[in-house]
Amino acid sequence: MYAMYLRKSRADDPHESIEETLRKHEKILFDLANKLNIKRSEIVQFKEVVSGENLKNRPEAQKMLKLVMENAFEGVLVVDSQRLARGDTLDQGTIIRAFSLNNTKIITPGKTINPGDEIDQDYFEFDLFMGRREYKMINKRMQRGRNISVQEGNYVGSIAPYGYKKTKIGKCHTLKINEDEIDCFNKMKELALNGLGCTSISNELNRLGFKPRKSKLWTTNAVRDILLNKTNLGLIKWNTRKSVKLYKNDEIIKSRPRNEEAEYYPGKHPAIITQVEYDAIVENIKNRARPVKKDKKLQNPLAGVVYCGKCGKAMIRRSYNNGYRDGLICTNTHCNNVSSVLEVVEKRVLESLEDTLKEYRQFIDNYHNDKTKTNNDSLIIKTEKEINKIDSQINKACEMLEVGAYSVELFKERKTLLDNQKKALIDKIEALKKEDTDFKLQNYINAVPILENAIKLYWNSSVEEKNKLLKQIVKRCDYLKSERGKRNGKGVYNFKLNIYLKI
């Protein structure tokens, strides 16, 4: 068996689509295979339709390398050995090790590289090194060209800011006013200059029927980002989000934090806000922002525990300056779930845990007198075997796709069917375990001391400790309240709380 790896590179014609480039390379490699008397039926294709500097961003390359290391292929057909890796030295080492393990050949139109041959191996390592150097140079030239274009006032972004649309002057891109969005922007600007906050502006825009570009409703963050965008001043920004590499969870990840040293250049596009208006809006937003406490501590024991039963958002603590007790509210401004007093919800959670503890104890005490015991061990084992059988079928389907026996459409259809069957069996096991009295008994025996300890310590603990105790036991609580009532009347207790436990 042989593999064929296809990936578009920056060295290819930029005016060609990925599909056109891959189709051209596929023809070149099949012609090469014919010359080498390699049958098409012996070739497994791996097409990379995503660009990626690193191996972790290229799933097809990872899949192929795994099979290379398992000695599944005699060789890999590729238009250029540099297509295999342009990542860092770690990626290059992974590639070299994979091919050297079983002396898998790298077959290109210009040369067949045998990793078992010392000279070929040196050539391969040098070729990958030069590919990496070339990638860096190409990237540097591209960034330099984009920077020069920005300094000339051209717009190099892929998506136009709200209120604008992209247009071309000669060969260069710039912006022009979007007539479909400018009325909404002007209304947004007018409300901001009248002293309204971003939340009030978003609510007013929704009331007036203005629609955002993609989502259904305006949000506070969307309004703030649009109003604070300096492109509206007729400027072009550069390097506003600099790429930074961080080492986290045993891998290198890229983040793009806001750059305080961003550059701005006069653009060719018209301004839709004056500097005086922009400064006034910035000052208004700044004055409304709450200062962040340096010694900020958790003040909500239900943080990350209670969620809105209507929209699913996390409920948060709201403090009041008029003598009212702290409230628990939904963060979604478009949700009509009614808020409650925080300590009332907190007490309900603890009461529910106390009821659960009583239920568990009662079950344990009465277990030996229960004549309706259920044991589902054999059914659970049988169902687990069925799941293992489906896992084998999924693996087989993957193999059939890799060797070309399954089309992508047939594979997706087959895998969806198997995934659904597997999920149904997993749900069946969970149901059987819940019915199994022996399983339930052991679960309850393990849970009782945890519940006892949490309930005993809770009211004498700090807010942080309370939160940890709850998260040890509770997966989540779904809160729902539809009727408003006086904060000190009976209505304060008229809410539903569905609690899902971990134990």
* pLDDT, tens digit, 9 for 90 and up, residues 23-40: 888 889 999 998 988 888
Give the model's pLDDT for residue 52: 53
* pLDDT band, residue 165 (cuts 50/70/90): very high
Rounded to an integer, the average pLDDT of 1-20 is: 72
CA–CA separation, 88 vs 363, rounded Å?
Answer: 60
* pLDDT band, residue 498 (cuts 50/70/90): very high
Name the residue among 296, 315, 297, 292 with its Cα closest to residue 305. Answer: 315
* pLDDT band, residue 98 (cuts 50/70/90): confident
Give the model's pLDDT for residue 248: 57
352 pLDDT above the threshold of 80: yes
Q: Position of tokens 């259920």?
A: 374
CA–CA separation, 277 vs 273, rounded Å?
Answer: 6
Handedness of CA 145, 147, 153, 158 (dihedral sign): positive
Q: Does domain 164-288 have CATH number 3.40.50.300?
A: no
Q: Which of 35 and 96 is assigned the larger pLDDT?
A: 35
260 pLDDT above the threshold of 80: no
Helix (H) or strand (E) holding 147: helix 118-151
Give the model's pLDDT for residue 112: 87
Name the residue among 77, 93, 144, 463 with its Cα closest to residue 304. Answer: 463
Rounded to an integer, the average pLDDT of 57-61 is: 79
Rounded to an integer, the average pLDDT of 124-153 is: 76
345 pLDDT above the threshold of 90: yes
Q: Which of 47 and 9 is assigned the larger pLDDT?
A: 47
**Least confident window among 12-21, 68-77, 494-503:** 12-21
The two three-digit tokens of residue 381, written as one number? 């084992």
187 pLDDT above the threshold of 90: yes
Helix (H) or strand (E) holding 176: strand 172-177
Q: Which of 334 and 343 is assigned the larger pLDDT?
A: 343
Name the residue among 12, 2, 81 with its Cα closest to residue 51. Answer: 12
Give the model's pLDDT for residue 6: 87
Give the model's pLDDT for residue 135: 66
The two three-digit tokens of residue 266, written as one number? 């006069």
Give the model's pLDDT for residue 123: 77
Give the model's pLDDT for residue 97: 80
Rounded to an integer, the average pLDDT of 292-310 is: 81
Give the model's pLDDT for residue 372: 53
54 pLDDT above the threshold of 90: no
Give the model's pLDDT for residue 409: 77
Give the model's pLDDT for residue 8: 73
**Fold match, 2-149 / 164-288:** no
**Please, where are the H alpha helices in 377-436?**
377-402, 408-435
**Least confident window among 17-31, 187-201, 404-418, 452-466:** 404-418
* pLDDT band, residue 251 (cuts 50/70/90): low
> Over pLDDT 90: what percentage of the chain?
25
Largest Cα separation within the chain, whole Å, is 89
Mean pLDDT of the chain: 82
Q: Which of 8 and 78 is assigned the larger pLDDT?
A: 78
The two three-digit tokens of residue 196, written as one number? 């309204």
* pLDDT band, residue 268 (cuts 50/70/90): very high
Q: Which of 462 and 412 is assigned the larger pLDDT?
A: 462
363 pLDDT above the threshold of 70: yes
Segments making up each domain of the chain, as ranges: 2-149, 164-288, 294-375+436-503
| DSSP assigned state of 295 | T
CATH topology assigned to domain 2-149: Rossmann fold (3.40.50)
Enumerate residues 6+ apart whose C-beta is below 8 A from 247. 253
Give the model's pLDDT for residue 356: 92
Strands 75-77 and 105-107: parallel
Q: Which of 156 and 15 is assigned the larger pLDDT?
A: 156
Q: Position of tokens 């539809």?
A: 482
Give the model's pLDDT for residue 132: 66
Length of the chain: 503
Do 470 and 300 meet the contact criterion of CB atoms below 8 Å apart? no
146 pLDDT above the threshold of 90: no
CB 169: neighbour CB atoms within 10 A?
A: 12
Give the model's pLDDT for residue 255: 66
* pLDDT band, residue 182 (cuts 50/70/90): very high
| DSSP assigned state of 313 | P
* pLDDT band, residue 254 (cuts 50/70/90): low
87 pLDDT above the threshold of 70: no
CA–CA separation, 492 vs 340, rounded Å?
Answer: 7
* pLDDT band, residue 342 (cuts 50/70/90): very high
Give the model's pLDDT for residue 244: 63
Name the residue among 208, 199, 494 with its Cα closest to residue 334. Answer: 199
CB 501: neighbour CB atoms within 10 A?
A: 14
482 pLDDT above the threshold of 60: yes
